[in-house]
Amino acid sequence: MAPRSRRRRHKKPPSSVVSTIVTPPADVTSVPLTLSKPGPSIDALGFFSLENNVPGLSQLILQKLNMKSYEEYKLVVDGGTPVSGFGFRCPQEMFQKMEDTFRFCAHCRVLPSGLPDTKVLRHCKRCRNVYYCGPECQRSDWPAHRKVCRELHLVAVDRLMEWLLVTGDFVLPSGPWPCPADVQDWDTWFSMRRLQLDTTLDAVIGSHAMTTLWANVGRPRPDPDVLQGSLKRLLTDALSRPLTLGLGLRTLRIDTGKAGGSTVHVVGASHVETFLTRPGDYDELGYMFPGHTGLRVVMVGVDVATDFLQSTSASTLKPGTIQLSGHRGLYHDFWEEKVETGQIAHPDLVVAFHPGFHASADLMEAWLPTLLLLRDYEIPTLITVYSHQELAASLQILVDLDVHIIACGANPFTSRKPEQVYSNPNKQPVYCSAYYIMFLGSTCQLDKKELEEEVDGGVLNN
Ligand SMILES: [Zn+2]
Ligand SMILES: [Zn+2]
Q: Measured in angstroms, how far is the CA atom of residue 13 from the centroid of ligand 2?
A: 27
Q: Which amino acid is at 302?
A: V
Q: What was the pLDDT predicted at 200?
A: 93
CA of 5 relative to ligand 2 center, distance in Å: 23
In this prediction, residue 76 carries a pLDDT of 60
Which has more pLDDT, 236 or 12? 236
Distance 426 CA to ligand 2 centre (A): 9
Q: Which ligand is nearest to the CA of 112?
A: 1
Spacing, Cα 390 to ligand 2 middle (Å): 26
- Which phi and psi angles does 391 have, rounded to 5°? -60, -50
Cα dihedral angle (19, 328, 255, 186), rounded to 10 degrees?
0
Residue 307: the pLDDT is: 65
Q: 108-117, 147-156, 315-324, 451-460 — which one is most confidently predicted on average?
A: 147-156
CATH number of 236-457: 3.40.50.150
Q: What is the pLDDT of residue 78?
A: 55
When pLDDT is averaged across residues 301-316 and rounded to a whole number, the result is: 68
Give the pLDDT mean for 392-403: 96
Instruction: State how far the Cα of 317 lies from the Cα of 47, in Å rounded to an integer.
Output: 38
H/E segment holding residue 381: strand 381-385
pLDDT band, very low/low/confident/very high, at 88 (cuts 50, 70, 90): low
Which ligand has its closest atom nearest to the C-alpha of 146? 2
Span 264-288, average pLDDT: 84
Cα(124) to centroid of ligand 1, in Å?
12
- Report the alpha-carbon distance of residue 229 to residue 197 in Å, rounded: 12
pLDDT in tens, 412-425: 999 999 998 878 88
Q: What is the distance in A from the centroid of ligand 1 to the CA of 111?
A: 9
Q: Write out pLDDT tens, residues 149-172.
A: 999 999 999 989 988 887 888 888
Domain ranges (residues) in the chain? 15-166, 236-457
Burial class (CB in 10 A: 0-12, 13-18, 19+), 449: exposed
- What is the C-alpha to C-alpha distance for residues 242 and 432, in angstroms, rounded to an integer? 13
- Across residues 358-379, what is the average pLDDT? 92
Asked if pLDDT for residue 263 goes beyond 50, the answer is yes
pLDDT of residue 36: 37
Query: How close is the Cα of 153 to the center of ligand 2, in Å?
Result: 7
The mean per-residue pLDDT over the stretch 308-320 comes to 70
Report yes or no: 326 and 298 within 8 Å, Cβ to Cβ: yes
pLDDT band at 456 (very low <50, low <70, confident <90, very high): low
What is the chain's mean pLDDT, rounded? 82
Distance 215 CA to ligand 2 centre (A): 23
3-state helix, strand, coil in the chain (%, to 5): 45, 10, 45
pLDDT of residue 451: 55
Quickly state the pLDDT bin for 25 (edges 50, 70, 90).
very low
pLDDT tens string 119-139: 889 999 999 999 999 999 999
What separation in Å is there between the alpha carbon of 40 and the centre of ligand 2?
34
C-alpha–C-alpha distance, residues 185 and 414, integer Å: 9
pLDDT for position 29: 34
- Enumerate residues 6+ apart whose C-beta is below 8 A from 63: none
Predicted pLDDT of residue 44: 66
Could you tell me the pLDDT band of residue 441, with boundaries at 50, 70 and 90? very high
Asked whether the predicted pLDDT for residue 144 surpasses 80, the reply is: yes
CA of residue 50 to ligand 1 center, whole Å: 18
Which residues are close to ligand 2, an ion, with C-beta < 5 A? 124, 126-127, 149
252: phi then psi, degrees, rounded to nearest 5: -85, 10
- Tell me how far the alpha carbon of residue 384 lies from the centroid of ligand 2, in angstroms: 29
